[in-house]
Amino acid sequence: MDNEMEMTGSGGDAAESLIPAISVEHLTKRFGDLTAVDDLTLKVSSGRLFGFLGPNGAGKSTTIGCLTGLIDPNAGSIRLLGETFTSDSIELKRRIGVMPEGLALFDHLFAHEFLTFNGRMYGLDEQTLRQRVEELLTVLGLANAGNKRLSEFSTGMRKKVAFAAAIIHRPEILFLDEPFESIDPAGVAMLKDWLRRFVAGGRTVFMTTHVLETVERLCDDVAIIKAGKIAWLGDVSKLASGESLESDGSSFNTLESLFLHLVGERYEMLEWL
């Protein structure tokens, strides 16, 4: 299918929805001979929770890297919040938040030091910063871990700190790479509520996950990518109202059935197992 489609937003007024929060055209990233992101074009409107799916190695994290300035693409253009974005876009970077795949935490710091460092980098005033650091650590259940350095945190605790660091400055777009992985069910329920509130205010979330049920319940729009190209892009919230998702003339009543149709591989049973 044509991988150039525009999603229409539900958040914001008419003028706002004309400018997509994220607009990517012909984005390409190569690592040597491998084209990890292959001529990718997509738009995400403000106020939407966008799920970015695909099998392992499909190019999701590489795309997020390009969209947040962690990776320089080889070709293509990126516009965030209506402005051209490159890895040098300092001002624009302050308006986005990112939780990358490999958690780049400073292991020798305490959680409150790490969050304070991040908040200062984003220009928060000291009083707001102190309040938010304290509130985030309390709500995330990390207030009692004040005597531990990040290197001593469990995987889920590290993930929560990375989430807190991504939202502390109340960004306009939040990029999350596998945000719920390793987080306990109560924590996941809370973070999902936070994200719903975040987009209800007209802000935008772009997230990857392998948990399709999460996408069905949480996301408005979804792109499924395979080998760096878009295999499907559409409105997944239809499923909640009993509508089916269409592709290649077939209709699917779960995201899993669509996903398997598009990117599922045939596999052999391990006879020796």
Ligand X SMILES: Nc1ncnc2c1ncn2[C@@H]1O[C@H](COP(=O)(O)OP(=O)(O)OP(=O)(O)O)[C@@H](O)[C@H]1O
Q: Which residues bind Mg ion (CB under 5 A)?
A: 60-61, 101
* The residue type at 17: S
Q: Least separation, in Å, of the C-beta of 16 and ligand X?
A: 30
User: Which of 1, 18, 57, 126 lies at the binding interface for ligand X (CB under 6 A)?
Assistant: 57
Crossing angle of helices 155-167 and 111-121, rounded to 10°: 20
Closest CA to 78 of 20, 6, 121: 20
Range in contact with ligand X (rule: CB under 6 A) among 55-63, 75-83, 195-203, 238-246 = 55-63
Give the contacts of 175 (CB within 8 A, at least 6 positions apart).
64, 67, 68, 96, 97, 98, 99, 166, 206, 207
Strand 173-177 with 250-252, pairing: unpaired
Q: Least separation, in Å, of the C-beta of 109 and Mg ion?
A: 25
Give me the residues paired with residue 230 across strands. Answer: 225
In whole angstroms, how far apart are CA 61 and each of 19, 151, 176, 209? 24, 24, 10, 11
From the CB of residue 252, how many other CB atoms can be counted at a distance below 10 Å? 18
Range in contact with ligand X (rule: CB under 6 A) among 3-11, 28-36, 42-50, 192-200 = 28-36
Q: Enumerate the H helices of the chain as residue ranges.
A: 14-18, 60-67, 90-93, 111-121, 126-139, 155-167, 185-200, 212-218, 255-263
Please, which of residues 62-91 interact with ligand X by CB under 6 A?
Answer: 62
| Residue whose CB is less far from Mg ion, 102 or 185 | 102
User: Which of 43, 60, 159, 203 lies at the binding interface for ligand X (CB under 6 A)?
Assistant: 60
Q: How many residues bind ligand X (CB under 6 A)?
A: 11
User: Which of 18, 34, 104, 189 lies at the binding interface for ligand X (CB under 6 A)?
Assistant: 34
| Residue whose CB is less far from ligand X, 58 or 174 | 58
User: Which of 6, 31, 134, 154 lies at the binding interface for ligand X (CB under 6 A)?
Assistant: 31
Range in contact with ligand X (rule: CB under 6 A) among 29-37, 122-130, 148-156, 259-267 = 29-37
Q: Least separation, in Å, of the C-beta of 52 and ligand X?
A: 9
Q: Tell whether residue 118 is a contact of ligand X (CB under 6 A).
A: no
In whole angstroms, how far apart are CA 9 and each of 63, 199, 249? 22, 11, 25
Contact residues toward ligand X (CB under 6 A) are 31, 34, 36, 54, 56-62
